[in-house]
Amino acid sequence: MSNIVIVGTQWGDEGKGKIVDWLSEKADLVVRFQGGHNAGHTLVVNENVFKLSLLPSGIVRDNTKVLIGNGVVIDPIHLIKEIKQLEEKQIKITPENLIISDAAFLILPIHQLIDELRENKNGSNKIGTTGRGIGPAYEDKVGRRGIRICDFCDENELLEKLKKLYDHHNIWLSASGQDIQKPEGTYKKLLELGRLILPFVQPSWRVIQKYNSSSYNILFEGAQGTFLDIDHGTYPYVTSSNTVSAQAGIGSGTGPTAIDYTIGITKAYTTRVGSGPFPTEDTGEDGKKLGKNGFEFGTVTGRQRRCGWFDAILVKQAVQLSNINGIALTKMDVLDGFQDIKICVGYKLGSETINYFPTSNKEQKSIVPIYEVMKGWNGSIVGIRDFKKLPKEAKAYVKRIEELVDCKVILISTSPERSDTIYLKNPFDKD
């Protein structure tokens, strides 16, 4: 048995979908443990493109079961929509291969309304949310007024809980000059959706326990990236959940000793969507070239990503925060054609040189990257599947990243295609 956690080491969009898809081949269960449908994964399988934002990536595998854990917030309308979209592509989804935690919280239409109104009120100081209601849903969870999947089972209690939730939010809506919202329409819609969703529902912790006791392989699939973590990220420009590896157990129902290996998905350069600090952002021609070569547009929002150079300080900190055992280096091919490639190896903060990413938002915005410049390579590495066949400059780049982040690279992706990957170690294989 091996239980593996996958996390992003930057600001999300690191290419987790492809890596999870590869690992799913040896996983018996793939578990999504945090976030909502604000995080997108794109899979390319035999020229078929699958865009997922809530269902775990393993769902496209014939013999893999997937679990949406209690740490996820679920928009039931979007869930049914995503299931139907996959079924239209001949992906069979039944209670045999999809399990939904009975303790997961729901995202309601009122959450989306509040999310959008708040972001619009922020004007030029927008956080950069997707407007999908993730934050307000987590607020209701912590405020102990949220609606859970298990509430579908009691229609009378569901209505009473909805009334209390709407009463709470209508105070703010009324004070903001907005029309108050009535729960009855949402209630009727939830009853319809509940009948579709309940066949998939089980206690997630019991499922995890069953798989652990039977020596199966479990893959815990994180969404977003380390520096969008509510505790460890660039607060307040973060998501509303914990994205580091420790959340895998909390968001699904198991303890830390059940985790055997943690993989950090790491892009060979750096991107970010929305507002917030980004020390290595390149707004010049190189940044534009990275964006163009990497097709850097969000899977969920379609927003263009900000692009910049690899930040070794940031990634090393992510390695330490999640006790990452191996790096999966993605989108190496995007660096094709660059004469020089920069790597951030430290920061200047005023007159001081520091080797960590600071906590203070003011300091995060003030730091200036210190770059080391490496020679780029000629030609294209697209489709290369053997490390020995990489240009010497590309090999040197990988080795330098390993040195700077103090972690081995176990996989290198050389195109979006599933098969275009250099495998240096399979974490499911015992040493």
Successive 10-residue mean pLDDT values, the chain, 431 residues? 93 88 88 87 72 87 91 96 92 95 97 91 70 93 97 95 97 94 95 97 96 92 95 95 97 94 98 94 96 82 86 98 97 97 98 97 96 97 96 98 98 90 85 58
pLDDT, residue 128, reads: 63
Dist CA 23 CA 58 (whole Å): 9
Please give the Cα distance from 102 to 149 (Å, whole number).
5
CB environment 118-144: b (16+ within 10 A), e (fewer): bbeeeeeeebbbbbbbbbbbbbbbeee
Alpha helix stretches (DSSP H) within 256-371: 285-293, 312-322, 361-366
Residue 411 phi, psi dihedral angles, 5° rounding: -160, 145
Longest dimension (CA), the chain: 67
pLDDT value for 17: 79
pLDDT for 261:
96
pLDDT at 95: 96
Which residues lie across from 344 on neighbouring strands? 311, 371
Entry pTM: 0.92
Q: Which residues are catalytic?
A: 13, 41
Supply the pLDDT for residue 379: 93
Q: What distance in Å separates the CA atoms of residue 185 and residue 76, rounded to the nearest whole number?
A: 15
In 251-277, which positions are buried (b, 16+ CB within 10 angstroms) versus exposed (e)? bbbbeeebbbbbbbbbbbbbbbbbbbb
What DSSP character marks residue 188? H
> How far is 175 from 167, CA to CA, in rounded Å?
13
**The tokens of 114 are what?**
């509040």
Q: Contact at 8 Å (CB) between 303 and 328?
A: no
The closest of 320, 149, 128 to 240, measured between CA atoms, is 128
